Every structure is written in structure tokens, then in C-alpha cells.
Chains A and B, each alone.
Chain A
Amino acid sequence: MLEGKAVIGETDMLQTMQQDALNLASKALDFFDVTEATDIARFIKKEFDRTHGPGWQCIVGTDFGSFVTHCCGCFIYFCIGSLAILLFRGSPPP
């Protein structure tokens, strides 16, 4: 487990779900190197699809900006170690 603590930058998510996200990111960093951003993103997204329903999107990296539309209550942006992680559920098609 990482010694570093995660810092939440922005969120619209239940506390328990937030904790899930942080735990998963920490677990992913045990499995993968920090340079394997896509594998980390895949790990987190797939687990959230499984436990919280489909439609999650996950972005991981050291240098990015984004602008997204997300479902109510399904958004978190946080930093852990040297990485920034954005996890959200996009709006379902009309």
C-alpha cells in the first residue's frame, strides 16, 4: 500500500463511493507502475462498472485537462502519488 495519502480535488460522489475510488487507485498502484496510466484507468473503470453499474470513464495521468458531462453523484477527481485521476459516469444517451 502506498505511503502517500490521496488528495481529493473535486467530487460529487457519496463518501462510501469516494472511498471505493481511492482504495481502487491505491490497489491499482500496487499492481501497476505509475507509467502504465491506461492499465490503471482500465482497472478502476472495470471495477466501478462491476460494482456500481456500467458507464464509467476513467482518466489517469500527470498532465491533462478535461471538460466532461457527468451523471449526478458520479464524479471524482483526486491525486494519489504523482498521478491525477478522474473518474466519472457519463450521461446516458437520451
Chain B
Amino acid sequence: MLEGKAMVKETDMSPKMQIHAMASASQALDLYDVYDCISIAAHIKKEFDSVYGNGWQCVVGSNFGCYFTHSSGTFIYFALETLNFLIFKGTSS
């Protein structure tokens, strides 16, 4: 497990789900290199789809901005090591 601690920048998730998100990210960083953003994002998104139902989206990287609509209670943006992580469940409303 990584020594580094995750820093939440923005979220409206329950604390339990937040911890799950950061644990999943940490696990992904054990499995993949920090340059393999797509595999890291895939790992986290699939985990969330299987545990909390389909429709999750995940963005990982060191330089990005985005604009999206998300379901209530399903958004977190945090930093871990050199990467930023964005996880949310999209919605149409």
C-alpha cells in the first residue's frame, strides 16, 4: 500500500464511499504504473460499477479540466501522489 495520503479536493459523497474511492485508487496504483492512467481509471470505474451499479465515469491525470452533470451524492475529486482523480456517476437531468 502506498505511503502517500490522499487529499480530497471536492466531494458530495458519503464518507464511506469516499474511503472506498481512495482505497480503490491506491490499489490501482499498486497494480499499474502512474503513467498508465487509462488502466487506473478502468480499475476504479469497474469497481464502482460492480459495487454501486452501472454508469460511473472516471478520469485520471495530471492536467485536465472538465465540466459535467452528476447524480447527487456521487462525485469526488481527489489527489493521490502525482495524480488527480475524478469519479462521478453521470446523469441526464
Interface residues of A (CB under 8 A from B): 36-42, 44-46, 53-69, 89-94
Contacts and interface: CB of A to CB of B under 8 A. Distances in A.
A61 B65 contact: yes
A68 B68 CA distance: 13
Nearest to B37: A65
Contacts of B89: 90, 93
The size class of the interface chain B forms with chain A is: 20 to 34
Contacts of A60: 64-66
A41 B59 CA distance: 14
A64 B91 contact: no
Given A38-B67, A90-B91, A92-B92, A69 B54 contact: yes
B60 A65 contact: yes
| B interface secondary structure, majority | mixed
Contacts of A62: 63-64
B62 interface: yes
B27 interface: no
26 contacts: A36-B65, A37-B66, A38-B67, A39-B65, A40-B65, A46-B67, A56-B69, A57-B69, A57-B90, A58-B66, A59-B65, A60-B65, A61-B63, A63-B62, A64-B37, A64-B61, A67-B45, A67-B57, A67-B58, A69-B54, A69-B55, A69-B56, A90-B89, A90-B92, A93-B71, A94-B54
B1 to A, nearest CB: 22
A42 B65 CA distance: 9
Interface in B30-60: 36-42, 44-46, 49, 53-60
B50 to A, nearest CB: 13
